[in-house]
Amino acid sequence: MPVVLCYGDSNTHGTMPMADISDMGRFDPDVRWPGVMAEALGDGWTVIEEGLPGRTTVHDDPIEGAWKNGLAVLPAVLETHRPIDLVVILLGGNDLKARFAVTAADIAESCGRLVREVRGSSAGPAGRAPRVLLVAPPPLREVGCLSGMFEGAEAKAAGLAPAIAAVAERHGVAFFDAGRVAAVDPLDGVHYSEDTHGALGLAIADEVRAALQG
């Protein structure tokens, strides 16, 4: 029974597009893209949803908290859920917040650091390392209640997918550009609509099958 760990941020958590910064809505499990993916994969698969709103690749968040650091938490998550056949990493969007002042190239290299953490672990079957599918988030937009937080993100986001693709190739792991099938909701420029979750879940299901067959 293959085990797939989905390691991401608010869009893996299923946060709804926000009209106001205080909104806390979350889509139901069968609407969120990991749930859609699990349904598409069918019986015989275990999909673990590990999405934390505000999660970064490698950065402690000086405002939201140090636990937002994806690298710091990843070893514990891997050990908690082992054995894991494949880790789907969909991160990088929160690194575009103005407070981190990093480039698209820096974010891609940070994704590579997460890949190395997974590949250097013994969290896979028989103590081997899990395989990795690295997913680039769709480009963000500077609109709505989150626009100030993500000031300057739109320009940097345009170069994120090609930079992450290059890192995935260098590390020899599977890659998927979520922007091929998904776009952020125009309400807040960061989160996904219900339809987008559906399209993304189906697309990543295909990529997961391919990654485990390779």
Residue 101 is which amino acid? A
Residue whose C-alpha is closest to residue 108's, from 157, 172, 50, 69? 157
Residue 1 has a pLDDT of 87
| pLDDT per residue as tens digits for the range 16-73 | 999 999 999 999 999 999 999 999 999 999 999 999 999 999 999 999 999 999 999 9
Residue 214 has a pLDDT of 67
Residue whose C-alpha is closest to residue 89's, from 174, 214, 206? 174
| pLDDT per residue as tens digits for the range 144-200 | 999 999 999 999 999 999 999 999 999 999 999 999 999 999 999 999 999 999 999
Above 70 in pLDDT, residue 138? yes
> Would you state the structure tokens that stand for residue 142, as one six-digit string?
């500077």
CATH number, residue 77 = 3.40.50.1110
- For residues 192 and 184, the answer to whether their CB atoms sit within 8 Å is yes
- For residues 84 and 124, the answer to whether their CB atoms sit within 8 Å is yes
Residue 78 has a pLDDT of 98
Alpha helices in the chain (DSSP H): 10-13, 33-41, 70-81, 104-119, 153-157, 160-171, 194-213
Q: What total number of domains does the chain contain?
A: 1
Domain residue limits at 115: 3-213
| pLDDT per residue as tens digits for the range 79-126 | 999 999 999 999 999 999 999 999 999 999 999 999 999 999 999 999
- For residues 187 and 18, the answer to whether their CB atoms sit within 8 Å is yes
> Would you state the structure tokens that stand for residue 94, as one six-digit string?
């929160």
| pLDDT per residue as tens digits for the range 162-175 | 999 999 999 999 99
